[in-house]
Chains A and B, each alone.
Chain A
Amino acid sequence: DAGVIQSPRHEVTEMGQEVTLRCKPISGHDYLFWYRQTMMRGLELLIYFNNNVPIDDSGMPEDRFSAKMPNASFSTLKIQPSEPRDSAVYFCASSPAQTQYFGPGTRLTVL
């Protein structure tokens, strides 16, 4: 069974550009999480969904960040406009209950 799939794996963009990160959760998992990891701040929960509905977006840093989950098999995290301080690894995770299964992450560099 395929795990959580994220794309792209690496993204390099220039400040001001729009960035869209994609995630396909494990089939049958009702929960989907977006995290950001940096050396300075560690792993931070940005937002999570339950049955495609956003439940808690208190970790989203500012209005430049938005996340959607149009169906059970797909979610996006969008940054518009991007800034150098957004450079980080962004992980998507899905969960049927307690255990979270992480994707391989998207390494984002904003120049």
Chain B
Amino acid sequence: RKEVEQDPGPFNVPEGATVAFNCTYSNSASQSFFWYRQDCRKEPKLLMSVYSSGNEDGRFTAQLNRASQYISLLIRDSKLSDSATYLCVVKNTGGFKTIFGAGTRLFVKA
């Protein structure tokens, strides 16, 4: 079993739709959680950190469920520019070793 698992998609949604991605992790000692975004043939970039209480940044909402060991990303009012691959990232305790999920591809269509 992979340490971080994501639904690869692709998710095809119309503009204005709400879409949600989930990610599960296997190490219960995982300490920090993030969502990164990667555009085609570009480098990953931090989208947002994920806090225990959940957090929101504009149209993006991230949630963490430690008991079930999953994190989620909700995108409201999807824009064409949201089309990208979204990477779930987990950092374990005791160091800076970072595990990336394989990513979920999102296509937003006009």
Contacts and interface: CB of A to CB of B under 8 A. Distances in A.
Given A42-B101, A42-B102, A95 B43 contact: no
A71 interface: no
A56 B46 CA distance: 22
Nearest to B103: A42
Contacts of A44: 100
Interface residues of B, number: 19
Chain A interface bracket (under 10, 10 to 19, 20 to 34, 35 or more): 20 to 34
Interface SS, A side: strand
B98 interface: yes
A73 to B, nearest CB: 19
Contact of A33 (B34, B49, B98): B98
Interface in A95-111: 95, 98-105
B59 interface: no
Interface string A39-82: 00011110010100001100000000000000000000000000
A56 B97 contact: yes
Interface SS, B side: strand
A31 B44 CA distance: 17
A54 B14 CA distance: 46
A107 to B, nearest CB: 9
A104 B42 contact: yes
B99 A105 contact: no
B87 interface: yes
Contacts of A56: 95-97
Contact of A43 (B32, B44, B45, B97): B44
Given A43-B44, A98-B32, A104-B43, A48 B103 contact: no
B11 to A, nearest CB: 17
Interface of A: 31, 33, 35, 42-45, 48, 50, 55-56, 91, 95, 98-105
Given A42-B103, A56-B96, 14 more contacts: A33-B96, A35-B100, A42-B101, A45-B98, A45-B100, A55-B95, A56-B95, A56-B97, A91-B44, A98-B32, A98-B34, A99-B46, A100-B98, A104-B43
